[in-house]
Amino acid sequence: MATNETVIRFEDVFFEYLPLKPILTDVSFSVRKGSKITIMGQNGAGKSTIFKMITGDLVPKKGKIHIDKDMTIATAFQVMQQEDKDLTIQAFFNKYYKDKTAYNIDKKIAEILEVVNLYAPLDRIVKSFSGGQQARLLLAAALIQNPDILLLDEPTNNLDKDGIYHLEDFIKEYKKTVIVISHDAEFLNSFTDWVLYLDVFTKVVEQYVGNYYNVVDQIKARIERENMKNSQMIKQAQAKKEQAGVFAHKWWKLRLVAKKMREAAEELEEEMVDVRKEDKTIRAFTIPVQEDLSWEILKIDAVSVIIDHEPIVKKADISLRKWNHLLLSWPNWIGKSTLLESIANERAIGSKVSPWVKIWYYRQDFSNLDFNATVYDQLRAQAGPNMTEQELRSTAAGFLITWDVMKSRVWDISEWQKWLVAFCWLVLMQPWLLILDEPTNHINFRHIPVIAEALDEFQWAMILVSHVDEFMWQISIDTYLELDCLK
């Protein structure tokens, strides 16, 4: 339960990465001890920037941030540091566990791994885990520190349903302060006390009390009230302008009345509320192919899964042709990402991709992108030789990729922008086989119907993995493979 004691206070904070392009303007808010807080806002509104200022990685250009110096802070990072990949599980957690005198650290490691629904021997090397499993190790590394302030940035991205339920229970029982950035509405609603809403257009932060769904309703109601008020003011202002136009050509005293009416109309326009605008959604798109394929695209006779930390080959009977969409279901421990990657690289045991088939593989960590290349070079390399510069930029614009983003290195853009680049690459590549590993990670709910419609209409073969029911229900699926049910 939150107390009245304040543990974080922002006072008139201003921050910008580039001159004249502010991220936050005059931001003020307080966080009470023991609160369970959600940070909402459009992509690019500054949610992760606030996290970095709380940890001290960024300092405001103006204003002040007050945090008790005795407060410990831990963040669940999204990307494993290179030097940590060669550590064993035991060494990895020893690095991040603050209390070096603690008794029975191995027991605490086992308990925290259970929270993130990951099971592994303590001598296993970190780099042997898949990208999704490494993300769960990073989450566990933050949780095991038992910090006074726990910062979680999209913590459900690499968890299955059981893992999400475990994390929900952990947060609800956690007696200290938790601040979460996530697009998972059900997850957020399970524990949220109140919400900080960041507006990407006004650059300010608003505070709302209540659970996630209650706050969403409050925001919608406020938008409706603001739109109604503005509509009334627009009508009043227009009426006064029309009257002023009539009086302006009459007797001089009426021209004075006309002047006052124009001034009144201007005042009404100035009083109009700056109504909250929502994210632009990506443009509706289709995934084209260059020519028809009449033969089998992918044949799966067997799959390699992980049972008790050992690879086991199990029989399967899957044939994917035109219009075949396969939904792959799995428990987290069975090696799903490893299987998908081996199919994408055409090295999977028991799987055969037909010759000349172009494969597009969506990886959760975007590691199939060249992080040192610019976005432009990455996309230009995928575009056909006949695509003009204007066509390339138009396709990119449909995915909200501006010229500023095009000039940036992939390394320097946000995870959300990497997602945009990945899906723009998909359209440019024109593949026959899609392999998608949790494609809704890093995006908010407004974009889900657009992606789902494009995938639903994709006429070639597709393998899909997703834990978001709302997303999967919108896509036509004709083939199912439950990895834990194979013999």
Task: Kindly list the distances between the CA atom of residue 64 and the CA atoms of 143, 199, 298, in Å, as whole numbers in the listed order.
Answer: 28, 20, 58
Q: Can you read off the two tokens belonging to residue 439? A: 């494609």
Task: Give the span between the Cα atoms of 194 and 208, in whole angstroms.
Answer: 6
- The predicted pLDDT at position 275 comes to 46
Residues 200 and 236 in one domain: no
**Given the structure tokens 């996630």, which residue do they identify?**
212
Residues 405 and 335 in one domain: yes
Residues 180 and 221 in one domain: no
Residues 98 and 189 in one domain: yes
Residue 293's pLDDT band (boundaries 50, 70, 90)? confident
- The predicted pLDDT at position 401 comes to 93
Q: Can you read off the two tokens belonging to residue 177? A: 């302060």
Check residues 100 and 175 and name the one with the higher pLDDT.
175
Residues 121 and 230 in one domain: no
Look at residue 145 and tell me if it is in a domain.
yes
Look at residue 384 and tell me if it is in a domain.
yes
Average pLDDT, integer, range 234-255: 60
Residue range 183-241, pLDDT digits in tens: 788 888 899 988 998 877 778 888 888 888 887 787 777 767 766 766 676 676 666 66
Residue range 420-447, pLDDT digits in tens: 999 999 999 999 999 999 898 777 667 8
150-165 per-residue burial string, b: 16 or more CB within 10 A, e: under 16: bbbbbbbbbbbeebbe
The domain that holds 43 is classified in CATH as 3.40.50.300
Q: What is the DSSP letter of 366?
A: -
Look at residue 417 and tell me if it is in a domain.
yes
Q: Can you read off the two tokens belonging to residue 144? A: 């095991």
Residue 321's pLDDT band (boundaries 50, 70, 90)? very high
Look at residue 281 and tell me if it is in a domain.
no
Look at residue 291 and tell me if it is in a domain.
no
- The predicted pLDDT at position 423 comes to 95
Give all strands (DSSP E) within 269-354, no chain letters.
298-307, 310-320, 325-329, 351-353
Residues 103 and 114 in one domain: yes
Look at residue 278 and tell me if it is in a domain.
no
| Final residue in a domain of this structure, among 215, 233, 257 | 215
Residues 50 and 146 in one domain: yes
Residues 211 and 221 in one domain: no
Number of domains in the chain: 3
* 234 close to 224: Cβ distance less than 8 angstroms: no
Q: What three-state secondary structure class fits 218?
A: helix
Residues 306 and 440 in one domain: yes
Residues 22 and 166 in one domain: yes
Give the phi and the psi of residue 391 in degrees, each rounded to 5: -65, -40
Look at residue 280 and tell me if it is in a domain.
no
Query: Which domain covers residue 429, as residue numbers?
Result: 298-485
Look at residue 277 and tell me if it is in a domain.
no
**CB contact set of 221 (below 8 Å; sequence gap of 6+):** none
- The predicted pLDDT at position 2 comes to 63
pLDDT above 70 covers a percentage of the chain that reads 84
Residues 164 and 110 in one domain: yes
Residues 481 and 381 in one domain: yes
Check residues 120 and 160 and name the one with the higher pLDDT.
120
Instruction: Evaluate if residue 307 carries a pLDDT over 50.
Output: yes
| Final residue in a domain of this structure, among 191, 215, 239 | 215
Q: What three-state secondary structure class fits 407?
A: coil
